Amino acid sequence: MPRFYFLLALLLLIPETHARGTGDLGIVIERAGGSVQVIETSTNTSLGSIDGLGDLSHASAVYSRDGRYAYVFGRDGGLTKVDILSMTIDKRVIQSGNSIGGAISQDGRLVAVSNYEPGGVKIFDAATLELVADIPAVYGNDKQLSKVIGLVDAPGQKFIFSLWDAGEIWVADLSSPAKPVIRKFKDIGLNPYDALITPDGRYYIAGLFGEDGMALLDLWNLDDGVKRILNNYGKGEQKLPVYKMPHLEGWAIAGNFAFVPAIGRHEVLVIDTTTWTEAGRIKVHGQPVFVMARPDGRNIWVNFAVPDNDTLQVIDTQSLKIVKTLTPGKGVLHMEFEPRGEEVWASVRDEDRLAVFDTETFEQVTTIEAKKPSGIFLTYRAHQTGL
């Protein structure tokens, strides 16, 4: 038999394999069972679940550059590398006693985790999950350790984060991973509780729980230091009890305006990003948690803390008016837009399901069973700064 026909016969005997990309995939945190569900947005289906991820009561995730691996940060200090194509755990380490989030570096080679206990940031090799650097959040003359929040990646192989107890912002340059270079900005305000970075990677903004206002750091001009913005935006007003911290990483930007949740208030704040001053306030149904923009910036979707967490509201970014109020069900914890914004996924924790909405008609497209779902993370995040 000629060699060509022999090789052809061998190929015909090899079982057909199904190769696929990851661009329309994502994961949903199933917080009660320590699992993640793999979802597909092209057909709005669930592909299966992956168990064994520990305490996911405040979990978040980032993606490898190819979108194949999700790095899941668990509340128990677990860092889990999940292969979403094979739906298996690739690697898992317990790196602290209590962690609340993480980020992946600009080049995709480093994964950083922010820790409450002990306070600080740990940096891992993204391929092996081996520890590369340990940055304790030490502050004050008595060398206390602070809880770390608001950890994001930034251009130039940097990670930016805030210290809750110390009232500081740190910029960590990991260009040489074994020798991080840290720049510290002190006295930024009381108890920064969360932070965000603008999509272009220029501005880092920390919200303050201990006082009204926010702290802004221009990463292009670090020598200018931290600037206070929206100072005393609630001065003289009675604050409401805070049932759940707003999530600034779920902020929204449309045109020259940013939309952020007002802590302790039934308001969304509108900020002029050319001057970083207040441009308006929008009264909403309850205390906002996530304030998120459809990818084209045409409207803003808002969810709320208890006792109003059965509701979503949609804000028109031209009129700054609420154009739709939806009640998907009890315990709407998180939203995620599909990459081009035609649909949005919402987790309805207390009803053990996901709800998918058409963002033009506001009609529910489908619902999918999930065990106490919370965070929804699609793979497009692999190519976005700060996500």
- Per-residue pLDDT reduced to its tens digit, 50-64: 999 999 998 999 999
Among the ranges given (165-179, 233-247, 313-327, 351-365), the one the predictor scored with the smallest mean pLDDT: 233-247
The HSE-up count of residue 73 (CA atoms within 13 Å, CB side) is 26
Assess whether pLDDT exceeds 50 at residue 10.
Answer: no
Q: What is the DSSP letter of 249?
A: G
pLDDT of residue 247: 63
Assess whether pLDDT exceeds 80 at residue 13.
Answer: no
- Cα–Cα dist 39/105, whole Å: 25
Contact 205, 196 (CB under 8 A): yes
Q: Which of 158, 74, 165 is nearest to 119 (CA)?
A: 165
Q: Grade residue 356 by pLDDT with cuts at 50, 70 and 90.
A: very high
The Cβ of residue 8 has, within 10 Å, a number of other Cβ atoms equal to 11
Among the ranges given (171-175, 240-244, 276-280, 304-308), the one the predictor scored with the smallest mean pLDDT: 240-244
Q: Grade residue 254 by pLDDT with cuts at 50, 70 and 90.
A: confident
Phi, psi of 380 (to 5 degrees): -60, -20
The HSE-up count of residue 325 (CA atoms within 13 Å, CB side) is 11
Mean pLDDT on 260-274: 90
The alpha carbon dihedral of 14, 40, 198, 290 has a sign of: negative
In 3-state terms, what secondary structure has residue 339?
A: coil
Contact 246, 256 (CB under 8 A): no
Kindly report the pTM of this predicted structure.
Answer: 0.92
Structure tokens at 189: 């305000």
Residues written for the chain:
387
Phi, psi of 182 (to 5 degrees): -110, 130
What's the chain's average pLDDT?
A: 91
In 3-state terms, what secondary structure has residue 180?
A: coil
Assess whether pLDDT exceeds 90 at residue 88.
Answer: yes
Assess whether pLDDT exceeds 50 at residue 49.
Answer: yes
Mean pLDDT on 281-291: 95
Q: Which of 355, 345, 331 is nearest to 377 (CA)?
A: 345
Cis peptide upstream of residue 2 (ω within 30 degrees of 0): no
Contacts of 360 (CB under 8 A, 6+ apart): 342
Cis peptide upstream of residue 241 (ω within 30 degrees of 0): no
Q: Grade residue 241 by pLDDT with cuts at 50, 70 and 90.
A: low
Please state, in angstroms and as integers, the Cα–Cα distance from residue 76 to each residue in 73, 93, 179, following that order: 9, 11, 27
* Range 20-57 burial, b when 16+ CB lie within 10 A, else e: eebebbbbbbbbeebbbbbbebeebeeeebbeebbebe
- Cα–Cα dist 300/280, whole Å: 15
Contact 194, 178 (CB under 8 A): no
Contact 343, 360 (CB under 8 A): no
Among the ranges given (150-164, 192-206, 240-254, 289-303), the one the predictor scored with the smallest mean pLDDT: 240-254
Contact 330, 311 (CB under 8 A): no
